[in-house]
Structures are given as structure tokens and as C-alpha cells.
Structure 1
């Protein structure tokens, strides 16, 4: 049996599991449940089971009786459906998707990576942020600012038992990171006022709420963009540059251009491990490159009159 290779956000077929029980439930619900609405996780689980002898991304493996565990669970018999989701020309390769995964997840789970993967991310550990803070401020300063950030119900992502912040494929930092940097850089009097307002009335003034607690207000895209702009002060932008340099240092003295030349000389057929790991390495370093222009474009300046008024209100808060 042959399986379909993965293509991020461009699959031709979609797999879903359908049980006899779910079919009867669907009939009882007047057909409201559509197989197209199944989670991509179904595809991912099934892909791991049915990857076959012609899958260039995986080891050769047989389809034996153990694979039938996917298809049976007690008295419930589960079948697998494959649906064409777009037109495919005769003779073209047909692709499946294992989910919206970045290159690190693809490499870890399936042993391959993709160039220009739009779901790729870069992680910056909280430890890196703390080290940056300690290079400028005292341990007490850093600890109190981090504590206040947590009291505002912020946290990073958890990856491999460590807390980190995600930088998107386009170089945009997770807003939780921007908030933490903003709090770390608040002047002492503004920080004390914020700390006092939280301890006495459990709230903050409206301008600071817009800036720090925007996640509790309207989820409007415009509000989100405005909050990001407000957080991108000159100090926060400089901090992002420092974090980008610190994260880049993990890759050693060789430049990105050296990695690209190594990749161009590498052959997937003869050295797939090196080939796919170089794609991952290069994609991460390119995200770092995009983080710096993102910081530069913020620059602590706001374009519209509304943003300028909000900035002045924030400074007076």
C-alpha cells in the first residue's frame, strides 16, 4: 500500500476516520456532521499508521495486522475515508497533509522539513529574556517585573519543559513577549503605580489596560494592531534586537550565507538528515532576520492621530 506525501497547506486529498457509531449519530442529527469538518489531527494519526513503501519521507514499513488497531475499538468498527479536496490533473502527484506543522515538528515526527514553510516558528526561551534583563537591571528589578507580568495572567508557551515565546514565520513576536519587555522597561514610578493599583483595587487605568490587558477587551484586529504598536516603544524595539542577536549566537560563528552554501551543496538522496536539518536551521535564522526589521518598523512611533493620542494618554497614566 502506498501513502501520500505531505504538503503544507496545499493538500489534494483529506483523510478522516468514520465509525459505524458516528454514522448512526450523524443520521440522528439529520446529517449535520460533515466528514470534511474532522480535525486535521485525524489526518496526522492516520498518516503515521499508513505511511507506506513509496513514501520518500519515511522508512520502508509494512502494513500489517497491528495497523488495524486504528480501525477497531471494542464493538465500534472504524473505517477510513479519503476525499479529493481540489482538482488534480492526470499524472500529477497527489498530496496529503499531516497538519499545520512547523519544520521542527515535521522533523521530529516524520523526519523531513519543507523550505518556506509558512507554519514555521522560532522560539526564544524565557531564560534568554531574563539574561537580557539582568544585563541591564538588578536581579531584584527583573524578579519583581516578571512577577507583575505573571500577576497580569501572562505566560509564555511551554516547549520541552521550558517556557518560551514564539516568533512567527513573518518575524512577529508573541504579544506576551512584548508585554514582558514593556514591563521590564517601565520607569520605576510608573511600575510602582501599576503595582500599587493591582494590589489595592486589582485593576489598572484604562490606557494601561489597552496596552497590557488588551486580550480582555475587544478581539478586533484593529485593537490588536494598536496594542502591538503601543507596546513597541523604542526601548522594546532595542530589546528585540538584543534578543535576536542572543538567539542568533546559538548558531555559532558561521553566517547564514555559509549555511545556505552548505545546503546548496547537499543532496537529499545521499544525506537526507543533513539536508532536512539545514532547511530547519536556515528557516530559523531567516525568522531571526525578519524579527529585526519588525522591531525597526515599530520604532516607538505611531502613525495615526488616534494612535498618537493613545500614546500621550498612556504616558500620562
Structure 2
């Protein structure tokens, strides 16, 4: 691979040869001294709405643009789905080496990753009881690779390893742990860099940032957008956005940008745990999006111990989409229960606490308890749940704060030391949310039947929530 600056220049030259238009007011810069790898910086003042660069769709790395799409039946990609299809496509281009149309692009993409997928067991243990540990999915990914990708790699070996007399042997070698690691790296590149790329002709609704509605996102094609993915992200300083046009994608300034300023995109409201899982780093300004999850198993355990568990009521709540695998407590400033605690978990507990007569009345009218009015008894049950969740962490918040300074810079620490510090920062954020929630619930209990501050909900004349008045809260 060429040196860092040489690879950057070769990449930009390839991009322009591919039909991209790049403003002379920006440059690709080495920001490794800021722990940021490559980044895009303004060389001159840029007014709001000005075009920063335009990338033709043909330069995107996707199933649609790769020659592999014409070599393998379309039904194969349909069967694989968007993620595995793009991984297979990227493997094909990777195997092609210098012959790939995206060779110069691959040269500026990372080959080593700090995401949770590549952490050791002792490093992951530093996250303690964080729910993010169960979302890494390495075992599940391995199973998908073995079941879906490896048979195709062997079936189409002569295409994927074109011109290699050892094509079939190389395909079989892909079953080794070292070769499976390549697939994980391709998946990590997709998770960190890929956009949801709406085909030029489609009926799917995608917004200006390339995001579809949640129910449509799963089937939306994925693609890597050269240069757009070189922008670093910042929750507070986002000053550019990618816009989708029929034949190209355009990055434009969202606000005036001064000469010398870095140009930032934004990941959206990601908690630091997901930032670490997907991108391999954290920053303090994403603490405003932190989330801690209360698993359904814990809710079940505490409700059963309290003698209020009812399968019949759960069936009704499930029909009304109130049940989930976990319930979030999200950061809010200032912290309030009504802004932070998932209304679904309040409805769940209050439903379990109803008398049989009250429950049947609500069920007959297709209604639910009001999440904005928490009973003292409901607060007591939720308080026990939160206390039990706090106890799942190996150390207390106070212990962590006493031994935590800050996450060290990349060049000031070993990779393990930095990973330990990032894990501690994530678990501190989660424990703070739990502590705030525990305190707020304790205050409600102390008021002996006090009512939590009201949310803005559609409530009928009898004070019950209409089912249409409670939108399903999307979890991160």
C-alpha cells in the first residue's frame, strides 16, 4: 500500500477520473494527530448550501455498480439480502486487487478496526452489564457467513477468483478463521462507512441523508460512498449533509464554514455504546444520546417476585405492540422520567398492577393505562427493577468515577488501555442514567402516591390513552 498521503492523492485522482466534482475550497487532510484518521477541511470560506462535492452513482461501491452483479444471478443477491450481498461484492473487488475499479478506494479504507467485534474477552468484560455486549453479533455473523456466503464463494469460485488456477482451492480456504476475519472486516467497513443507497428508480421513501423508514430500511441496498465517508462525525458541529439525486450524490454545506474548519457529518442520535460498537471510538458530545437498557428478562423476574405477572395480560400488551426485548432509559437534560423512561415499560407495569375489573374494562375499550400518570405502586415495582439493573454491574458508579480520568488519545496509550477507558466511560454513562432514574422513582414513592409530570398524549374524556395516541418508541 502506498504511503498515507500518496494513497490520499491517488484516491482523489481516481475519484475525479470517475466523474466526481470536488470543490477547490476543500481538501482531504491527515488528521491522525487528532485521533481522526483522514478528514475533510475547508481551505477557503464556504457559504451555506454550497456544493462541496458531487459523486456519480457509478463511483459508489455497491452491488448495482460492481461487475459481479452481471456475473452472478440476480436471485442470488435477492436471497442474500443487502448486507451479505454487499459483503460478497466487496470480497470480489478485494480479491481483484489492482484490477478492481475501486482499488484506489480500498487503499484509503482501514484494515484494522477498534470496533467491539474485534475486542478480546477481557476487554469486552470491561463493559460489564451493558446491553451492547449482546448486540455485537460475531457468532451470528459467523453462522451467516458459513451458511450463506461460503457455499456461494465455492459455487462461483471461478468468478470471484477470476484468472486464478487455484480458484476452487482458495474458495475452500475461505472457511479458515483467518479468512472469515476478512468477511468480518468487510462487514465492519459496511457498518462504519456504508449508506442506505436508494436505487435511482424506486418507490422507497428515503430522506435527504439517505435513511429510510425503519420498516423499509432492512431491504434497502447498502453502498459505500467514496469521500462522503471520509467526513468525520460530530454531534454538535455537523455542518454538511449528503443529498440524493437521480444520477449522483451531493454533499452540501449546511451552514457557513470558515477556512481551516473541518467539515463534519453526523451519525444521528447514537449513544456512546453504539458509537463504540459501530465505529470503534467514543466522544463526550455523544453522551447526550446515551441509553441504558432494562432487559425484559429482568422485568419478568421482578414482576414475578412481586406476584403480579400475568401471561393473559402480556398477550394483550403484545397484541398492542407494548412488549419488547428491552426498555430504554435515555439521557435527557435536565433529567426527567417523562422524557427518559420508556413509556412502554410504565404501561407494562401499570397494566400488571390493575385489578381484574379495571384490566377487563380497558381491554374491552381497546385502551391502556396512562404512562404519564405513574402510581406509587408502579413506581415501587419500577424502583426494584432499576435497583436490580444497577446490581448487574460489577462495580458501582462511585467506584468507577474514583478511578476514571478520561479516555487517553490513541498515541498516548496502548490499544488495550484505551479500550478499557472507553468501556469504562460507556458503563459510567449507563450507571448515571440508572442512578438518576432510581432517585426520581424514589421521590415519587416518597410522595406517597404522587403523580409523575404529564406527557403530551391523546387522552379521552375518561382519562384513558387511545391506542392511536401512543406511538411505538423506536429503540436505538
Q: Hey, what does 1:39 align to over in structure 2? A: 210
Tell me the alpha carbon deviations over residues 136-194 of structure 1, each in whole angstroms, 9 at most, x when there is no partner.
Answer: 117xx4323322322444222xxxxxx11111112522111111100111134433x34
1:121–1:168 contact (8 Å) kept in structure 2: yes
2:450 to 298, 301, 304: 301
Q: Hey, what does 2:296 align to over in structure 1? A: 126
With structure 2 as the length reference, what TM-score do the two structures score? 0.42
**Residue 92 (1) aligns with residue 238 (2):** no
Distance in 2 (alpha carbons) for counterparts of 1:249 and 1:183: 26
Q: Hey, what does 1:204 align to over in structure 2? A: 365
2:302–2:385 contact (8 Å) kept in structure 1: yes
1:124–1:166 contact (8 Å) kept in structure 2: yes
**Residue 238 (1) aligns with residue 384 (2):** no
Distance in 2 (alpha carbons) for counterparts of 1:181 and 1:303: 15
SS at 2:405 equivalent: helix
CA displacement at 1:120 relative to structure 2: 2.0
2:290–2:331 contact (8 Å) kept in structure 1: yes
Tell me the alpha carbon deviations over residues 83-104 of structure 1, each in whole angstroms, 9 at most, x when there is no partner.
Answer: 2212233333332223332222
Tell me the alpha carbon deviations over residues 240-292 of structure 1, each in whole angstroms, 9 at most, x when there is no partner.
Answer: 2111111111212x221221233306523313212221221111111112222
Distance 1:259 1:24, change over 3 A: closer
Aligned-pair Cα RMSD in Å: 4.4
SS at 1:229 equivalent: coil
4+ long deviations beyond 3 Å? 1-5, 13-20, 22-25, 44-52, 54-57, 77-80, 296-300, 312-315
**Residue 149 (1) aligns with residue 317 (2):** yes
Task: Name which of structure 1's ranges 271-280 and 177-186 shifts more when overlaid on structure 2.
Answer: 271-280
Q: Hey, what does 1:186 align to over in structure 2? A: 354
Distance 1:136 1:48, change over 3 A: farther
2:372–2:452 contact (8 Å) kept in structure 1: no
Distance 1:16 1:127, change over 3 A: farther
Distance 1:105 1:134, change over 3 A: same
Q: Hey, what does 1:137 align to over in structure 2? A: 307
1:287 to 429, 433, 438: 433
1:116–1:283 contact (8 Å) kept in structure 2: no
Distance in 1 (alpha carbons) for counterparts of 2:431 and 2:226: 29
Distance 1:301 1:80, change over 3 A: same
Distance in 2 (alpha carbons) for counterparts of 1:134 and 1:95: 48
Distance in 2 (alpha carbons) for counterparts of 1:97 and 1:50: 11
SS at 2:262 equivalent: coil
Q: Hey, what does 1:74 align to over in structure 2? A: none
With structure 1 as the length reference, what TM-score do the two structures score? 0.60
2:327 to 165, 175, 190: 165
1:165–1:176 contact (8 Å) kept in structure 2: yes
**Residue 229 (1) aligns with residue 397 (2):** no
1:106 to 262, 266, 275: 275
**Residue 272 (1) aligns with residue 418 (2):** yes
Distance in 2 (alpha carbons) for counterparts of 1:187 and 1:23: 53
Distance in 2 (alpha carbons) for counterparts of 1:136 and 1:16: 60
Q: Hey, what does 1:72 align to over in structure 2? A: none
Distance in 2 (alpha carbons) for counterparts of 1:39 and 1:89: 26
Distance in 2 (alpha carbons) for counterparts of 1:85 and 1:189: 56
Distance 1:81 1:56, change over 3 A: closer
